[in-house]
Amino acid sequence: MSGSQFVELLVGGLAIGCIYSLIALGFTMIIRASGVLHFAQGELVMLGAMFGVTAHRLLPLPFAPLLLVGMVFGGLAAVAIELGVYRTLRVRRIPLINITIATIGMSILLQNTGQLVWGSEPIAYPKLFATTGYSLGPAHVAPQLVWIIGMGVLFMLLLQLFLAFTRTGRAMQAAAQRPETAQLMGINLTRITAYTYGIAGALGGGAGVLLGSLFYASFNMGFLPAIKAFVAATLGGLGSIGGAMFGGIIFGLIETFAAIWVSTSYKDAVGMVMLILILLVWPEGLVGLMRKGR
């Protein structure tokens, strides 16, 4: 493999990895806040991508505002689902495993609603980027990939700042660690959980616009990337914000390089074998391993 090819693969892997990280962050935030493995996360990705396409049809916006549209609609959809469905189940004291399976029902519901609204054919994403590549030495890198990495990293940084420094962000952290104690300290759990879903949905919706711009938008585009992002979150260390970011990027790189070094047909299997091996040796994922090594 030549150096330029390596650089191009590296950038591609980082870009898809950033998208996985954004989706994985949504999984992580929800699992921390409510213990639910949210299977409908991929459908939030789909909704973000679809609303992005629709917005572009109505008004040919450039990339950044379009991304915002995807995030806003993804976030709103997630809040609506949480307040309308999951909260009702929680109030009725339905066991967690049932709520988790109800999210599979939500995934089926949203996917097929998406198919009714936007049809079953994949929708080509509008050209949002210049086609001339940047030159990095002998390697050519598409501006789109650079944008995706930039936006992905930006959102992850913003999320970290939000969780560490704002009142709401810290309330979320507190509610995730000790819900009862947080409630005693005057934190409104209903509102905080809704915010958490909102942020998870916004990250998913944003990831949807990024993913759509890379390939296309379709009603079932979200399910498989979401499963992979969840695997990535587990690889990094489930329930850890850093683990989700790190795991997503690692998984994107593994997938991209496995396609070249192993085989295109088995690129997904390589990630899964890695996952099983890592879980067997260090069940807390890569982040848990690093913490132990310190």
Residues that bind another protein (CB under 8 A): 31, 37, 85, 88-89, 92, 94-95, 97-99, 101-102, 104-113, 116, 227, 230-231, 234, 238, 265-266, 268-269, 272-273, 275-276, 279-280, 283
- Residue closer to another protein by CB (options 148, 258) is 258
Q: How far is the CB of 80 from another protein (least distance, A)?
A: 14
- Residue closer to another protein by CB (options 214, 268) is 268
- Residue closer to another protein by CB (options 182, 233) is 233
Q: How far is the CB of 262 from another protein (least distance, A)?
A: 11
- Residue closer to another protein by CB (options 213, 234) is 234
- Residue closer to another protein by CB (options 6, 261) is 261
Contacts within 8 Å (CB) and 24+ apart, 104-112: 104/39, 104/40, 106/39, 106/40, 106/43, 106/81, 107/39, 107/40, 107/42, 107/43, 107/223, 110/40, 110/43, 110/46, 110/47, 110/77, 111/43, 111/46, 111/219, 111/220, 111/222, 111/223, 112/219
For residue 48, give the nearest of 24, 67, 35 by alpha carbon. 67
Query: What separation in angstroms does the CA of 8 have from each of 1, 135, 143?
Result: 11, 10, 12
DSSP string, 27-55: HHHHHHHH----TTHHHHHHHHHHHHHHH
Per the CB < 8 A criterion, the answer to whether 204 and 22 are in contact is: yes
- Residue closer to another protein by CB (options 196, 213) is 196
